[in-house]
Structure 1
Amino acid sequence: MMMTAEVGCIADSFIRLLPLFYEKFHCRKRSDLTSLQMHILESLVQCRENISMTQLSLKMDICKQQLTTLICKLEEKKFVEKKQDEKDRRIIKLIITEKGVEVVKEHWHDICTKLQSLDKDELADLEYAASKMVKIMQKIN
């Protein structure tokens, strides 16, 4: 398949978007968490049920060895707890603690505060663009 100029332009924008997003919205001052650790906590908050290490590693597309190291650090900081599955003791379930939920809430509050610096039209444009991106990205295999 041949890459069109339009597809190349979109790919270039994606490559620039993620680092820009982290630059503008990630702040380590409160919790001393890396962006990947924060992403893990945000993923755990979004899970309806406790998730296993394997499920989270697949969801986040990181190897279990790397995830294990990250979870151990989050556990040391009391953001996450590990619990053996009652039906299958080989499975370790992850539980976000109240402290973990609180740091995610603080992060979202920081993002909202930064977004409030935009004017009404910019906020409307950003909301439209973000919701469209989510909708379209869910269609990509």
Structure 2
Amino acid sequence: MSKVLNAVQHAAMERETRLHPNPSLWHEAQRVEASIVNWNARPHTTLEQAIARCETQIRECEQQATERAAQLETLKAQAADAAQRLTASEWARDAHRNRLDALEACQALSQKVSHAEQELDSLRAQLHQALRHADVTTDNPKETR
């Protein structure tokens, strides 16, 4: 009886294979179905063992999640450090610009002071000349008349 049943099933499979649009896909589906049937037919571990395996997998996943959370915190800290360094760099760049601006202002003031000193020297020379001229005229009052 078993041989007859197998022959009938085999003939039915060949017929379905010929009728199926993608025979290789159909054979793969049949193979997977047979492996599922074989898996279901063999004696399984107890329910408690299956639950224990699942709990182990859950713990492993939780451990991985904890590790990834720690990695995320590390990356956040690194990002914060980088942001602080960037801010410090920007402050240093701004301070450097301010120093350059101050240096330019000092140079401009130095030029103004130099011009003012030249003008002062010129005025002193004019004053000395005027004072000498005044001394000459006071010594010789007749000459001024």
TM-score over 0.5 for the pair = no
Q: Bigger relative contact order, structure 1 or 2, given CA contacts below 8 A and separation 6+?
A: 1
**Largest Rg, 1 or 2:** 2
With normalisation by structure 2, the TM-score equals: 0.20
